Amino acid sequence: MDPMEIAEITALGMGNFLTTFSVFLSVASAYLVAAYLVGAKLTSLQLTIVNGSYLIATSILGYLVGANFRVFFVWASSNPDGLVRQSGRGPVLIDFTWPMSILMLVIIAGSMTFMVSIRKGGPGDSGT
């Protein structure tokens, strides 16, 4: 493959990564809004369905985010000519797969904790 084809595949990998990450953040935001608006009113069955759906969706999206980033990173690393050079020696690439995975786990755990605090009615609860 010539460098332009590798650059195109790399750009497509980055585009797919950004798309899946934005969908992941949208699902997490929707869960937080639902938790805030109706979290205290949900029955146990409804809560189980919402939490289960959220965990399944974020697990699948989290996997896709990581996989798309790996595709981008592998193709960007394999480009010997490096269309974007940060130094004369070649592109400086950092693999953010693990930090990104930890960030997504923190987002998931934080949103689930938020749902628990809404259901328990913390000290700042005004009764709304």
3-state helix, strand, coil in the chain (%, to 5): 75, 0, 25
**For residues 73 and 92, which has the higher predicted lDDT (pLDDT)?**
73
- How many CA atoms within 13 Å lie on the side-chain side of 79? 24
**For residues 15 and 96, which has the higher predicted lDDT (pLDDT)?**
15
Distance of CA 61 to the CA centre of its chain: 7
Question: In percent, how much of the chain has pLDDT > 90?
Answer: 50
One-letter amino acid for residue 60 of the chain: I
Question: How many residues in the chain?
Answer: 128
Residues 101-116: tens digit of each pLDDT? 899 999 999 999 999 9
**For residues 104 and 128, which has the higher predicted lDDT (pLDDT)?**
104
Maximum average pLDDT range among 7-11, 85-89, 111-115: 111-115
**pLDDT tier, 65 (very low <50, low <70, confident <90, very high otherwise):** very high
CA 40 – CA 37 distance, rounded (Å)? 8
30, pLDDT greater than 90: yes
Q: Residue ranges per domain, the chain? A: 3-82+93-120
CA 11 – CA 27 distance, rounded (Å)? 24
**For residues 10 and 81, which has the higher predicted lDDT (pLDDT)?**
10
Please compute the mean of the pLDDT values over residues 64-87 and round it to a whole number. Answer: 74
CA 128 – CA 38 distance, rounded (Å)? 10
pLDDT at 92: 65
Tokens of 52: 């289960």
Please compute the mean of the pLDDT values over residues 41-69 and round it to a whole number. Answer: 93
Which of helix, strand or coil describes residue 102? Answer: helix
126, pLDDT greater than 70: no
CA 42 – CA 118 distance, rounded (Å)? 11
